[in-house]
Structure 1
Amino acid sequence: MPFTFSFNLSEHVFASLPQMERGVAKVIGGDPKGNNFLYTNGKCVIIRNIENPAIADIYTEHAHTVNVAKYSPSGFYIASGDVTGKLRIWDTTQKEHILKNEFTPFSGPIKDIAWTGDSQRIALVGEGREKFGAAILWDSGNTVGDISGHSKIINSVDIKQNRPYRLATASDDTSGSFYEGPPFKFKNTKHDHNQFVNCVRFSPNGEHFVTAGADGKIFLYDGKSSDLISQLGGEKAHNGGIYAVSWSPDSSQLISASGDKTVKLWDVGAGTAVTTFSMGTDVSDQQLGCLWQKDYLLGISLSGYINYLDKNNPDRPIRVIKGHSKSIQCLTVHKSEGRSYIYSGSSDGHINILFIIEIVMNDCFSGKGHSNQLVTCSMDDTLRYTDINKKEYSDVVKMDFQPKSVSVASGGLSLAVCIGQVVLLKDKKKVFTMDNLSYEPEVGVMHPGGTTAAVGGADGHVYLYSVQGNTLKDEGKTLNVKGTITDMAYSEDGAYLAVIDEKKVAIVFTVADGYSVKNQFYGHHAKPVCLAWSPDNEHFATGGMDMMVFVWTVSDSDKRVKLQDCHRLHHVSGLAWVDEHTLVTTSHDATVKQWTISF
């Protein structure tokens, strides 16, 4: 029986940002105690501590993209809805997040969810085929009303939190609707907007509710009778469409988020904006979501950045939470001045930096990045050399074909493997190119000493080239593996070369012994796609399409650490070691996880 090392589960979860779409509101929820906020990205629901957002939890049980998640007023449950119309209600008190119920009240994307104040009923709205909304009991799924009266998608729903309960909706048909109940029954329609109505929210005390729309207008209504009271800000509240509003806990103020790249703080009684938070000038600075939680005011940018707004300094947020919102393709670790920096690259062309101190801090590169995937090579047919100290993209080297991988070694050498081509670079310039190869190159690595370049092919062979000055010389040396090579790496001391292939095999070769086979490793249930050596040169990690990570011992193939479901429902896309006992993983869930492993 294989011996398994002891290990700790995830020590840190560096959560993804909200997944944003231009012109589409992002619903951000908060827990009733005011400690956490939550949002969605892909198939995940992310829960973050509002005081220290580095503390995060991720719910990963949805099989399809999740649009919205909301806490129950009791705080014991979260209801989350996906693009197929599936509503999942799950526990918040235990780490396992046990599923309490699952319903599909209508087929189609769920866009918003609201609970009654007693946590017994749920209203959900969206883009159903046969209807645009439903009201149900949380424990049985039985209907408790009829959400009718709209002719197009319902974007938003909210329920008055004290009795008598009232329900309001906002729709693409340019109207809002008002319902009494339960069971909820249609009462009237509000035709005050002239464009899409994006958001409706009741005040916490239930005295008022507001609607906000693409016409830049906010209307204030009586929470019990639905009578129109006033229009905030006169003719227009914002110069662009309004996507979200959120009330202050005392119901006297609210904030609104707009495509005009501002968040405004409103005195509801006076109907005027007290403060305007200017979030930038770029398209990515459009504000698509907001949340008022305790004393915290959050604005969500199109970029996915989470901005903590400062009432005393409206032009500069207190903090900005950065990270990835799209699938992470690769990562590496760099150490400088006693700190470890994790660099990750995502499919939208962003490099993110995590540096590990007492509180995990996030930042990202500035300047124009790759137009697609990157760390240092990208689908835009370029290599980019980045200045780590300045955190800016700098030198660009244009390739003849799309690069698949890049490796660096001492002496300013780099090796780029492109489609049908292998390129040697020195000091950021191409110095040697190999074309018309007899095989399709998939991945290349340089020996740490810069003496050898190893290129893995789709034909199941590793081709070894000696580096002689500014050229690569074919010495006629090849290594055989089981199938198409997916990744490979030299150990940090250059003693070993590890190779993984699509046949689910890892092989380690001993360099000093003419690349003889040291050991073979089996365990993955699906194709492994990434590999990284531990700094101790005695262990290496592999991650695969099976969502598993193995940490292997070079000298004994039966000794292993198995991390299962590292990124549930998403395969592992990148691996890197911070130190001998700390492994970092990334995935297409846009999340970075750090694991502590004890040998």
Structure 2
Amino acid sequence: MPYELKHVFASLPQMERGVAKVLGGDPKGNNFLYTNGKCVIIRNIENPAIADIYTEHAHPVVVAKYSPSGFYIASGDASGKIRIWDTTQKEHLLKYEYTPLSGKIKDIAWTEDSKRIAVAGDGREKFASVFLWDTGSSVGELSGHSKLINSVDIRQQRPFRIVTGSDDTTASFFEGPPFKFKCTLSQHSQFVNCVRFSPDGSRFATGSADGQIFIYDGKTGDLIGSLGGEKAHKGGIYAVSWSPDSSQMISASGDKTVKLWDVGATTAVTTFNMGTDVADQQLGCLWQKDHLLSISLSGYINYLDKNSPDRPLRTIKGHSKSIQCLTVHKNDGRTYIYSGSHDGHINYWDAETGQNDSFSGKGHTNQVSKMVTDDANDLVTCSMDDTLRFTNLGKQEYSASDVVKMDSQPKSVSTAAGGLSLAVCIGQIILLKDKKKVFTLDNLGYEPEVGAIHPGGTTVAVGGADEKIHLYSIQGNTLKDNGQTMAVKGVVTDLAYSHDGAYLAAVDDKKVATVFTVADGYSVKDEFYGHHAKPVTLAWSPDNEHFATGGMDMMVYVWTVGDSDKRIKIPDSHKLHHVSSLVWIDENTLVTTSHDASVKQWTITY
């Protein structure tokens, strides 16, 4: 194969304020599961940089759970569809597909023999269903609620029991199979967000937006008591998860804490304070072997430390919203990948290990559109918040002083030696020197889309919506229009000079990539055809002989400048979303990203 997937740095779970997030755990204790958009993400619990992404749902996936055998995963989406698929093979073959509900599926539970599945959520006729996994035929009726069901669980011992928790402030208890309604549990005064049986089946717990956790007998459904006296948490409780030995449990709350409970003594042994920001609300948790995980509203996944409750052992960061741009930077022999997303968040990744973090301090407040590094060791970013930022990569924190406000929204940024930067904004081209604006061109007569400074620092190329590339020369601190333009086939979506400055490549919305020879007065060297839809990003390999393009057709092509027929095609590089940005680590390693909020590295062999 000319290409091979080397690493996947997965997205974080997609979070919504006030909505619980269900984490799934693998029965062997190696992996955990969550969802983002139409993707189910499987991550290794010891090394979260090892990840796999399942992308076969047509609608946003809400929840995914392993079968107790560990061989299958059931995932449910917003349209009421459930897919049961194989975990043992790379292809994740579909075993069965059903549509048990007419609305969003919010939770899934299996019986311990992996034969029956209960699903709960929203629907027109019913809010829950329980059926045989291989035929889809019903094994009972889960009725008794007047509003959507948030959570469902099945006792993992015979006699089987099912419990559901709903927005109608009650939980319902069922006996079976076939399952029939036994009683309503109406101790809570607010939405019931989570219900979970203990692994030994002796008890189950309900957690609610009223901040209370009640414990019931697992066989009869009788109330045993509550945790923490009058209230377990100051805020609403979104999730509970039992310890493997059924003696303890953790609970995640909107009061920004996670608590560890001794269930027998009904008291909190440890309180983990997760922060003071709204983004630190805890919306999900999972007790997996020795690991205690919780999820913040920010999407960050926290590994809790019983010995040091105010500092997680580690926090997995990343992106939960679509990534718009990428760049790489080498530091002390290590390569770091920088990525910027739709919500203004910038993350950096160690290209080898996948360990990542974000800058400290206050950064962009809106989409990061483009990013590059300059020779002063700064990350230069432009954003829809109408600013350009220079962030020192040694310090890894945002600086309030190195922000340049623009008159209109910047779309593209480029840098060259000697402290030069070029920002292309709506209706304007701006030249900056040493982080200050020195020259502005407006009334251009065309709409500029993207710009690049020649590595020699003498010429600027700007691609326009007029299907032309305009050349300007840099004279001191000014830009002079040379009156020279090159016609391309369509609106320019991206352009870049090769690292040695010999070529200029551009892609346009007519699906063509064009390469110009700089020394030859920008004559056309070749045109490259292959994309089925608009290409939006382009990157030169460090060898200056190859460049990669990515676009709306989810394809990535690696082209050879000397031979337009010689190309490497990576189909479905990001299955459900178009490729938004590309960057090369070295001549054989290409990094791609997309609106699926994940970063992928590919090994390319020519």
Normalised by the size of structure 2, how large is the TM-score?
0.97
Cα offset for 1:427? 1.0
Query: Residue 378 of structure 1 is aligned with which of 361, 374, 383?
Result: 383
- Contact 2:116–2:133 (Cα < 8 Å) also in 1: yes
Residue in structure 2 matched with residue 116 of structure 1 by the alignment = 111
Residue in structure 1 matched with residue 530 of structure 2 by the alignment = 523
How many residues align? The count is 593
Residue in structure 2 matched with residue 497 of structure 1 by the alignment = 504
Query: Residue 506 of structure 1 is aligned with which of 495, 504, 513?
Result: 513
Deviations 1:200-255 (A, max 9, x none): 00001110000000111000000000000010010011111110000111111110
Query: Residue 20 of structure 1 is aligned with which of 8, 15, 20?
Result: 15
Cα offset for 1:138? 1.1
Alignment-mate amino acid for residue 57 of structure 2: H
Query: Residue 475 of structure 2 is aligned with which of 452, 468, 474?
Result: 468
Query: Residue 145 of structure 2 is aligned with which of 150, 153, 176?
Result: 150
Hey, what's the Cα distance between the residues in 1 that align with 2:70 and 2:505? 49
Hey, what's the Cα distance between the residues in 1 that align with 2:142 and 2:579? 42
1:550 aligns with 2:544: no
> Residue 393 of structure 1: SS of its match in structure 2?
coil
> Residue 34 of structure 2: SS of its match in structure 1?
strand
Cα offset for 1:14? 0.2
- Contact 2:343–2:365 (Cα < 8 Å) also in 1: yes
Hey, what's the Cα distance between the residues in 2 that align with 1:387 and 1:208? 54
Hey, what's the Cα distance between the residues in 2 that align with 1:503 and 1:597? 26
Deviations 1:242-295 (A, max 9, x none): 100001111111100011111111111111111111111111111100000000
Residue in structure 2 matched with residue 369 of structure 1 by the alignment = 363
Hey, what's the Cα distance between the residues in 2 that align with 1:485 and 1:107? 44
Residue in structure 1 matched with residue 264 of structure 2 by the alignment = 269
Hey, what's the Cα distance between the residues in 1 that align with 2:386 and 2:3? 40
Hey, what's the Cα distance between the residues in 1 that align with 2:314 and 2:519? 51
Deviations 1:8-38 (A, max 9, x none): 4211000001111111000000011001000
Using the aligned pairs only, state the percent identity.
78
What aligned pairs does 1:163-178 form with structure 2 within 5 A after superposition? 163-178=158-173
Hey, what's the Cα distance between the residues in 1 that align with 2:10 and 2:134? 30
Residue in structure 2 matched with residue 226 of structure 1 by the alignment = 221
Residue in structure 1 matched with residue 316 of structure 2 by the alignment = 321
1:212 aligns with 2:207: yes
Residue in structure 1 matched with residue 342 of structure 2 by the alignment = 347
Alignment-mate amino acid for residue 172 of structure 2: S
Hey, what's the Cα distance between the residues in 1 that align with 2:317 and 2:484? 46
1:407 aligns with 2:401: no
Cα offset for 1:512? 0.7
Query: Residue 294 of structure 2 is aligned with which of 299, 316, 319?
Result: 299
Hey, what's the Cα distance between the residues in 2 that align with 1:281 and 1:391? 22
Deviations 1:439-461 (A, max 9, x none): 11111111111111111001110
Residue in structure 2 matched with residue 282 of structure 1 by the alignment = 277
Hey, what's the Cα distance between the residues in 2 that align with 1:319 and 1:402? 37
What aligned pairs does 1:178-189 form with structure 2 within 5 A after superposition? 178-189=173-184
Residue in structure 2 matched with residue 587 of structure 1 by the alignment = 594
Deviations 1:286-325 (A, max 9, x none): 1100000000000111111111111111111111111001
Q: What residue ranges of structure 1 are gaps of 5+ in the alignment?
A: 1-5
Residue in structure 1 matched with residue 378 of structure 2 by the alignment = none
Hey, what's the Cα distance between the residues in 2 that align with 1:480 and 1:567? 32
Hey, what's the Cα distance between the residues in 2 that align with 1:487 and 1:582? 21
Alignment-mate amino acid for residue 439 of structure 1: Y
Alignment-mate amino acid for residue 393 of structure 1: Y
Deviations 1:528-579 (A, max 9, x none): 0000000000000000111110000000001111101000011000100011
Normalised by the size of structure 1, how large is the TM-score?
0.98
> Residue 284 of structure 1: SS of its match in structure 2?
helix
Cα offset for 1:356? 2.7
Residue in structure 2 matched with residue 3 of structure 1 by the alignment = none
Structure showing greater relative contact order (alpha-carbon pairs closer than 8 Å, 6 or more residues apart): 1
Hey, what's the Cα distance between the residues in 1 that align with 2:547 and 2:14? 33
Residue in structure 1 matched with residue 465 of structure 2 by the alignment = 458
Hey, what's the Cα distance between the residues in 2 that align with 1:332 and 1:8? 21
Cα offset for 1:521? 0.5
Residue in structure 2 matched with residue 312 of structure 1 by the alignment = 307
Cα offset for 1:84? 0.7
Alignment-mate amino acid for residue 415 of structure 1: L
Alignment-mate amino acid for residue 102 of structure 2: S
Residue in structure 1 matched with residue 38 of structure 2 by the alignment = 43
Root-mean-square deviation (Å): 0.8
Alignment-mate amino acid for residue 382 of structure 2: C
1:245 aligns with 2:252: no
Identify the range of structure 1 (36-45 vs 415-424) with the bigger mean alpha-carbon deviation: 415-424
Cα offset for 1:130? 2.1
Deviations 1:480-506 (A, max 9, x none): 110001101001111110000001100
Deviations 1:332-388 (A, max 9, x none): 01112111110000001100000134x321111121121111141111111111111
Alignment-mate amino acid for residue 367 of structure 2: Q
Deviations 1:41-66 (A, max 9, x none): 00000000101111110000111110
Identify the range of structure 1 (140-149 vs 453-462) with the bigger mean alpha-carbon deviation: 140-149
Hey, what's the Cα distance between the residues in 1 that align with 2:467 and 2:344? 30
Cα offset for 1:129? 2.0
> Residue 11 of structure 1: SS of its match in structure 2?
strand
Query: Residue 95 of structure 1 is aligned with which of 90, 95, 98?
Result: 90
> Residue 279 of structure 2: SS of its match in structure 1?
helix
- Contact 2:3–2:570 (Cα < 8 Å) also in 1: no
Hey, what's the Cα distance between the residues in 2 that align with 1:145 and 1:502? 55
Residue in structure 1 matched with residue 354 of structure 2 by the alignment = 360
1:440 aligns with 2:447: yes
Residue in structure 2 matched with residue 541 of structure 1 by the alignment = 548
Cα offset for 1:182? 1.3
Residue in structure 2 matched with residue 573 of structure 1 by the alignment = 580
Residue in structure 1 matched with residue 53 of structure 2 by the alignment = 58
